[in-house]
Structure 1
Amino acid sequence: STILLVGIILNVVFSSFFDTPEEKSLKRENNQFGLQYEILNKKLADLTKVIRDIEKRDDNIYRVIFNTEPIPSSIRSAGFGGVNRYAELEGFSNSEIIKQTTQKLDKITKRVYVQSKSYDEVIKLALNKEEMLACRPAIQPVSNKDLTRMASGFGFRLDPFYKIRKMHWGMDFTAHTGTEIYATANGTVLKAKWSRGGYGNNIVIDHGYGYKTLYAHLSSENVKVGQKVGRGDVIGYVGNTGKSTAPHLHYEVILNNKRIDPVNFFSM
């Protein structure tokens, strides 16, 4: 009985302080799993950083070149729908770790998908670059040889009618009545008519890619609505119609429905 008691005590002590071969194997597996999980987590973090760098270049360089709006972060970082998306991963001993890793992979997959669609769009724009450049305003609407002077630029000025400081949304080219006016880029005539708003006879051309140009105070138009025009085509003639004090062309450049300084779109 003494021997049996000693044996029981030794067995308890041995099992308390020494692992069985099965326990040793399980611990090795757990340690290896933990190490692999840390390595995988680091790789996922590194991959996320690479994707973020690509997204920044896409928004700040590639999409800027083609005058395309950056992709909102809410779209880039959007997750997947469905409250039970990871239900099948529950019930395992390491369910939480598996779910977290799968969620990270899903987010990366979604961001890669959004970026690939963005590149598809940018590539399409690049293939149409020649057409896009032809549709970007790039010349003066009145030739330098025909100008008597540059009357007024873009910005605040003393209004010649109201004698108060007001914003002038374009550039004025002073020239004799009948001087030819040129389309500054390829496009389609959107409007060619008299306007009560002070522009008198005026033409609006839609160039696509967010660009439009306006030509005001014309003596007459040389185009019709819906007509296709090319850069350098004569679209009308300088006049003094509408709210005007002398013969000149009022010229505006509009990008994405916002009027911008025309001086940035030609060389003087």
Structure 2
Amino acid sequence: MSPANQYKKVENKLFLAVGTLFFRLFSAVGRSFNSIIAIGKQRFTVMFIPHSEKKIFNFKISVFAMIFFAALLSGVVTFFFYYGTHYSGISSLLKDRSINLEGTQANLELIRDEIASLKKSSRVFEASLNEALSTLGLQDRGTGQPTADGDLSSFLGMEEQQEGVMRELSDLQSMGALFLDSAKSLESISKLLSAQGDLLYDLPSIWPVEGGIGRITNPFGPAEHPFTKQWYLHKGIDIAYGYGIPIIAAANGKVVERKYEPLGFGNYLLIRHKYGFYSKYAHMGRVFVREGDSITQGQRIGTMDSTGLSTGPHLHYEVRIGSQVVDPARFLNIK
């Protein structure tokens, strides 16, 4: 037999064997399916017998029907169990969110109260700033448009809440603009005061006794002379305290005179300042500066004593503009 015929014979046997195997397999599946269908078609009679036994209720149901109803019942039970659990979780979450919302609303009410208080303070600040600018001769920044007071009532709905939030936001923006504008005005005030502060260093404007101590025992103006008992014009003020107390310069300037008068001012200094001002310090004990020295405001120039014609330790202090004497009290602590 040729090889081709042998191969063909083997191929036919293999095909026949595979076909037989599949036929047996499908036959077994068919028989199993038929058996299942047969079992499923079996009917059972369900009977309900009341205690009176007068009428019996019964009905027939197949296995398929019982399986269907069992599956349906299981699905319904599972559905209610799942959604019951899910609803309980949502309910708990909503409760927590409700508590958080109440806390947030309470905090928002406090914030609104603070904003309302801040608005009142900002209006007082604005009025004071405008008054200060007017006093200093600077341009009045003007008052802004009035805004409605914040409504501190409870929330009555989302629309009202949104309007409230926008109102408070508008108030905050207005106050922000106010303070930004005020910063510019305060900068102008600062520059003005700085310039005036530089000017005051050149004017006899501070208390001439270090530490601000001492008291005025004899003011400027007509007075009775302590020795002659005659009326005369007291050209300065007498500040008394004690021996050795430091005397300071009342302004920047230059020492133009340092002398001693045994029957007059004793040890005294005359200092020339800018703008035609002079200051005089008399009855001093020690003197720390000399004629021609340049001095600065607040610098120690000597000590309090009772030299010259004096009844006790004090400082005789004068201020002049040119040759005209003026009351030093008009310039003391002008800052």
Q: Normalising by structure 1, what TM-score?
A: 0.49
Specify the structure having the higher radius of gyration (Cα).
Answer: 2
* Larger RCO: 1 or 2 (CA < 8 Å, sep 6+): 1
Return the structure number with greater helix share.
Answer: 2
